[in-house]
C-alpha cells in the first residue's frame, strides 16, 4: 500500500517537473476531436491575449493522430484576426511521414504526436486579444484517426 502511494507520488512529481520546465511556451491549448474524426466544418478556436509586441514568437500546430491515419501529410487553414479586426487566412501544408512511410512525429504504440512549426519569428503588431482558428483542409468531410489538435505559441528568443 505504501509502495503504491510512493510510486504514485513519484509519478506526479515527475509530471509536474517536466510540465513546469517549459519556459518557451507563451500559449498552448489542445482540443480533443469527437470520435477521433475532424469534420471540415469544425474550426478549432483559440483566443489569445497579447501584451508584448516587442518579442518574437514561433507558431506550432499540435497534431495527434493514429498510425491508421490514411495520409502522409496534412493541410490546414489558419485564420487570424488582430485586435483591430485585420484578418489573414493562410494555407499550411505539413509532412507527417517520410516517402518510405515512417512517421516523423514521436509517440508510443499506435499514437503519433506532431509539433509542426508553421510561422517563425512573428511579432504581434498590436497588444490585445487575437482570435485564431485552425481548420482541416484535406478535402475530406470527416478526416479519420485524428485524436486532437491544438495551437502552441512559443517565445522565439528564450
Query: 90-105 pLDDT, tens per residue?
Result: 999 999 999 999 999 9
Mean pLDDT of 140-156: 97
Place of cell 491549448: 29
Indicate which CATH number applies to the domain containing 55: 2.60.120
Which pLDDT band, with edges at 50, 70 and 90, does 23 fall under? confident
Position 57 in a domain: yes
Position 129 in a domain: yes
Place of cell 518557451: 24
pLDDT score recorded for residue 157 = 80
pLDDT score recorded for residue 22 = 75
Query: 39-67 pLDDT, tens per residue?
Result: 999 999 999 999 999 999 999 999 999 99
Report which of residues 18 and 156 the model is more confident about. 156
Look at residue 10 and tell me whether its pLDDT is greater than 80.
no
Domain count, the chain: 1
Position 97 in a domain: yes
Q: Which three cell numbers stand for residue 68?
A: 491508421
Position 16 in a domain: no
Look at residue 6 and tell me whether its pLDDT is greater than 60.
no
Percent of the chain past pLDDT 70, that is, above it, reads 86
Percent of the chain past pLDDT 90, that is, above it, reads 82
pLDDT score recorded for residue 2 = 53
Position 1 in a domain: no
CA-closest candidate to residue 48, choices 149, 121, 136, 154? 154
Cβ atoms within 10 Å, residue 69? 20
CA-closest candidate to residue 25, choices 48, 9, 53? 48
pTM metric for this prediction: 0.83
Amino acid at each position: 500500500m505504501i509502495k503504491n502511494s510512493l510510486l504514485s507520488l513519484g509519478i506526479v512529481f515527475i509530471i509536474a517537473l517536466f510540465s513546469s520546465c517549459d519556459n518557451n511556451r507563451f500559449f498552448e491549448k489542445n482540443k480533443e476531436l469527437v470520435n477521433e474524426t475532424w469534420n471540415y466544418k469544425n474550426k478549432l478556436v483559440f483566443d489569445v491575449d497579447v501584451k508584448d509586441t516587442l518579442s518574437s514568437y514561433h507558431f506550432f500546430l499540435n497534431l495527434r493522430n493514429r498510425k491508421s491515419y490514411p495520409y502522409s501529410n496534412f493541410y490546414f487553414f489558419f485564420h487570424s484576426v488582430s485586435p483591430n479586426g485585420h484578418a489573414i487566412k493562410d494555407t499550411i501544408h505539413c509532412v507527417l511521414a517520410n516517402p518510405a512511410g515512417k512517421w516523423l512525429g514521436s509517440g508510443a504504440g499506435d499514437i503519433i504526436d506532431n509539433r509542426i512549426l508553421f510561422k517563425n519569428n512573428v511579432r504581434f503588431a498590436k497588444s490585445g486579444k487575437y482570435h485564431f482558428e485552425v481548420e482541416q483542409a484535406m478535402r475530406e468531410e470527416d478526416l479519420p484517426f485524428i485524436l486532437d489538435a491544438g495551437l502552441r505559441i512559443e517565445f522565439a528568443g528564450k
